[in-house]
Amino acid sequence: MKIAVISDIHANLVALEKVLVSIREYQCDMIVCLGDIVGYGPKPNECIQMVEKAADIVLLGNHDYAAIGLMNVDSFNTFASQAIQWTRQQLTPENAKYLQQLPVEKSWQECFFVHASPCNPDFWNYVLSPREAETEFECFEQQLCFIGHSHYPLVFSYHPKMGVNKESSVKMVLEKEKRYIINVGSVGQPRDNNPEASWVLYDRDHALLKRLRISYPVEIVQDQMRDHHLPPFLIERLSHGR
């Protein structure tokens, strides 16, 4: 069984479509979306509808939460908050309702899924360093925890004797004695200096994890963002993956 895990689409329909094509090529049996379907990008309604149709498990992210008015945008930077105001005006009542009923965490077999961090899923903390990961490993029991939120794809492993390690390989065999926190990166707004859309393939039968990057025509999304007068900073960053 193959599971595709995606996150942080941020209303980037062009990137989402490309990633879904790639997922289909790998013949995945299940798709999990870790949230932030909207915010920043130009096609919030279209992305919600596509995720709703394609994904088996969908979680709520902080931008989704803000877009339906459940959270104020004080903690967001100016550009993110401008994009959220715009997104709020765009969302159809049906799509807003869909976001509203999404859970912030989900447990499935040996996997725990969450948008930000396993310890406090709705505190929207980042897990970027081995030290931060160490605390987070204590907050779930499953072997694997898939996260998004930072837009930075990375994997932490934990072994009772060796502690926490940052794993750098793109393709890895998961070891039985280890547990893992896997950040799947972002489909619609990567921030690791690589503009290509990110997703993760988990092959359960072979305990294999593969991190993938998919190129897409960034300039099409940038034109769509200009049409809606979204902040130039958000448009520009897509070219650089920052």
- Site residues (CB under 5 A) for Zn ion? 8, 36
Biggest CA–CA distance in the chain, Å, is 54
**Cα–Cα distances in Å, from 197 out to 7, 129, 212?**
10, 22, 8
The smaller minimum CB distance to Zn ion, of residues 8 and 136, is found at 8
The smaller minimum CB distance to Zn ion, of residues 67 and 174, is found at 67
The smaller minimum CB distance to Zn ion, of residues 150 and 222, is found at 150
**Shortest Å distance, C-beta 150 to Zn ion:** 8
The smaller minimum CB distance to Zn ion, of residues 108 and 126, is found at 126
Label residue 115 left, alpha or beta by phi (over 0 means left) and psi (-120 to 50 means alpha).
alpha
**Shortest Å distance, C-beta 63 to Zn ion:** 6
**Shortest Å distance, C-beta 61 to Zn ion:** 6
**Shortest Å distance, C-beta 11 to Zn ion:** 11
The smaller minimum CB distance to Zn ion, of residues 23 and 34, is found at 34
**Shortest Å distance, C-beta 76 to Zn ion:** 11
Q: Closest residue to Zn ion, Cβ-based?
A: 36
The smaller minimum CB distance to Zn ion, of residues 36 and 136, is found at 36
**Shortest Å distance, C-beta 162 to Zn ion:** 31
The smaller minimum CB distance to Zn ion, of residues 152 and 158, is found at 152
**Shortest Å distance, C-beta 81 to Zn ion:** 14
Query: Which residues lie closer than 8 Å to 57 by C-beta, 6 or more apart?
Result: 30, 31, 32, 33, 106, 108, 113
